Structure 1
């Protein structure tokens, strides 16, 4: 059976801070998030093709008109669909407090690549319950691909600014000839290399942004290591999609991430993401990331 495609008429499941969403609700939320992410992608494509003013934030990372415009649309759409559920978003709501249920939003992950015109950037939206994401969407507007996950991982083409027909996807077992590592085009740490050196990596593929998670979920790569600093909105959506595709993301203790770390200002530690969870125990990660945000 082909999974439903979100539309303006797709029923919006009610969400309450008083109870966690059930499986059917998570699936419906994921489809609606996919529609919201794809709509934000239309805004990003407009700026990408027409020019975009940008500047550096205090931490040295870039932000742009596109980030702000896409985030405004996402936050408004989430507020309309689920009033009362907090939204933690990179550009305008990074200091908001989490709750029993909350959204994490990165309207433009991979701003550097967006500004360079590589097309390897994403829109990330995740619903978190009990410190773990339970529904998510990740769109790659310039590549015409979008992923979503509630209780299972799905992918669809982006057609006329919205998701087309979804199909289930699954991560692949680690190939016997060696894994393909998805490595960042703009970030890199000596610790990343040290961790990869201890794994059976046969080849590397340069990929930017949270797109790596989508590719892992589809079996187009096997491992992604990041020891440098990232934020929760960078990883939550991809983490859930990869996990529902059969893969995993683990920290230095070998356990999945918990989300809603406001005392740490939503900063992640080092992690390794695998398509094949049987390889996760081989990852040797440093205990902490550098303090400078990436």
Structure 2
């Protein structure tokens, strides 16, 4: 039987002393998708109209668009779920997590945004007990948004809002081998070493957390990243992929835990697979190299 499309029921009330029930998580995910798409409208205005930017202390770019989109997301989350902390890349990266908290990247792939490639995303995840339980991943320029609560779905973005959601599923590795989704602007020797241990049939250049959405809907098979990333880069995509049947693992072969404030929310190396049967074959270094 074909699963029914996801629809938005009443938005659940969230509180720090209660884990959202599985039946509530889809509705949370749909609301997160709405918020992400609204932020995407802001990003599109800057993308098409020019955008001032500068480099942060770590050498990565930030822009007017990042800040405007983040302000919109944080305000929408506070209005919908007051009292739930938000850990956001640009303005709240030093905030402390709680039993329930949001991780937000208002513009993942700023370099590609500034270049006009369209391969950037808005990432929002709700984390409970160190793991995401609801998430949205929007690609505004591509007109696609993924969401996941208890299951993973995708919708077109229509005039700045999600259209009809339909279920997605990661695929088994095809006979011709894996399609590796590789970064256009990052790369480490360790990435290549991990890919060399896998049956790679072709490579596809893709930027930002868009890779997670493509893995979740069967448009790729593996994404390896040994260079430094932050929790807000991966949490939403991790959950979408996991609920679509895939898996993200770290060097120990276990899923990531989120809320690592002592580590300033930094991730270690990871490999994301559409087909979880291959996760045990990931050969990853213990730590990521530090940014120069």
- TM-score, length-scaled by structure 2: 0.98
CA deviation vs aligned residue, 1:82-134 (integer Å, no higher than 9, x gap): 01000000000000000000000000000000000000000000000000000
Match of 2:222 in 1: 223
Return the alpha-carbon distance in structure 2 between the equivalents of residues 176 and 80 of structure 1. 48
Match of 1:3 in 2: 6
* 1:214 positional shift: 0.1
Matches within 5 A, 1:130-149: 130-149=129-148
C-alpha RMSD of the superposition: 0.8
Q: Assess if the C-alpha contact under 8 Å between 2:6 and 2:26 holds in 1.
A: no
Match of 2:276 in 1: 277
Matches within 5 A, 1:1-294: 1-4=4-7, 6=8, 11-292=10-291
CA deviation vs aligned residue, 1:253-292 (integer Å, no higher than 9, x gap): 0000000000000000000000000001111000000122
List gaps (5 residues or longer) in structure 1: none
* 1:156 positional shift: 0.2
Aligned residue for 2:284, secondary structure, equals coil
Aligned residue for 2:248, secondary structure, equals strand
* 1:141 positional shift: 0.2
List gaps (5 residues or longer) in structure 2: none
Return the alpha-carbon distance in structure 2 between the equivalents of residues 160 and 115 of structure 1. 22
Return the alpha-carbon distance in structure 2 between the equivalents of residues 11 and 56 of structure 1. 41
How many residue pairs end up in the alignment? Answer: 289
Return the alpha-carbon distance in structure 2 between the equivalents of residues 2 and 254 of structure 1. 33
* 1:2 positional shift: 2.2
CA deviation vs aligned residue, 1:134-190 (integer Å, no higher than 9, x gap): 000000000000000000000000001000000000000011221000000000001
- TM-score, length-scaled by structure 1: 0.97
Moved over 3 A (4+): none
